[in-house]
Structure 1
Amino acid sequence: MNHIVLVHPAIPQNTGNIMRTCVATHSKLHIIKPMGFSLDDKHMKRAGLDYIKDLEMEIYENWEEFVTQNPGDYHFFTRYSKLCYTDQNYVSDQDQYILFGHEHDGIPHDILKDHLDECVRIPMDGNARSLNLSNCVAIGIYEVLRQQNYPKLSKVEVQKGADFIYEE
């Protein structure tokens, strides 16, 4: 199974968008406190739309609680890594956890330093400080899924039909 982990998220709209991405990709969401908002925040709910009811999610009080309960392969997305996220292997018999940090300062450095070989980065212009968190999550999970050949995901339009744009 694939898992998206948010370490100390701060912006409710990002978390709402990530919730929607989790549902669309059959990924479980894990949130590690502290959070910069309440899960009842109207902006988060609006961004998550009606997908939130289908979301599989767990919340943890701290990093130690999360690690204790979740064995598997960890991949830390950080601008400080020297390894491109596409150069990482996300295919194994272990659960895959892709981790993202706080919107302003990322994953705490004391956590990263214990996992340097598991850190990856998304390439970007050297003058750009960062990308939007929900965009980074989407980039990351779709690379994981691409390498896994998109398990349980439809490669054709389901709601309107596979031939919708071809019909006249």
Structure 2
Amino acid sequence: MAHMNIVLHEPEIPSNTGNIGRTCVAAGATLHLIEPLGFKLNEKSIRRAGMDYWKELDVRIYLDYDDFLKKNEGAVIYYATTKGPHVYSDVHYEDNCFIMFGKESAGIPEDILYDNQKTAIRIPMIGKTRSLNLANSVSIVLYEALRQHDFDHMKLEGQLRSYRWK
């Protein structure tokens, strides 16, 4: 069963984190939050965005980036950034890898990106668009990683309430 890890480096907007938490529950991914956070984890806006899924979320919190690295020594980490040299869909995501996203106002610090150029990835965009919404970016990259593993632990067929598929 493929497992992915989503890392938010100093997230600032509680509703984004709530939406990402909900996505992680739906995808069976673990959410890792690197402090400082721009909100408190018990804020109403996180609960509203994450709905009733937040209690099912595997979430881990770290004091800072160094604490994250120390507790996940040897992990394969991809750094999602608008500055990345590699397109996210050209990468092979290993089982149990980590995909890191930066804070909404500034992204991942450039010194971290410079030290990890080989695993810095980007979502292509047209023109002068600065970035996509953080929750949308997480969904795009996470589901590409899961697709590469054939969605092996996921429900692949839905059901209608009043009809049966032919």
The answer for unaligned runs of 5 or more in structure 1 is none
CA offset digits 1:101-122 (Å, max 9, x no partner) = 0001000111111101100000
Q: Which ranges of 4 or more aligned residues in structure 1 deviate by more than 6 Å? A: none
Is 1:130 aligned to 2:131, yes or no?
yes
Offset of residue 164 of structure 1: 5.8
**Cα distance between partner residues in 2 of 1:91 and 1:163:** 37
Q: 1:78 aligns with which of 76, 81, 96?
A: 81
Q: Report how far residue 40 of structure 1 moved.
A: 1.0
The structure-2 alpha-carbon separation of the partners of 1:37 and 1:51, relative to structure 1 and needing over 3 Å to count, comes to same
Counting matched residue pairs gives: 163
Task: Report the CA distance between 1:60 and its aligned residue.
Answer: 0.2
Alignment match, 1:35: 37
Question: CA 1:109–1:155 in 2, change beyond 3 Å: closer, same or farther?
Answer: same
Q: What are structure 2's unaligned runs of at least 5 residues?
A: none
Query: What CA distance in whole angstroms lies between the structure 2 residues aligned with 1:116 and 1:150?
Result: 28
TM-score w.r.t. length of structure 2: 0.93
Aligned to 1:54: 56
- How big is the alpha-carbon RMSD for the aligned residues of Structure 1 and Structure 2? 1.7
TM-score (norm 1): 0.92
Check the 8 A contact 2:35/2:63 in 1, yes or no: yes
Q: AA paired with 1:113?
A: Y
Please state how far the C-alpha of 1:167 moved relative to its aligned partner.
Answer: 5.7
Conserved? CA contact 2:85–2:117, under 8 Å: no
Are 1:91 and 1:147, in contact at CA under 8 Å, matched by a contact in 2? no
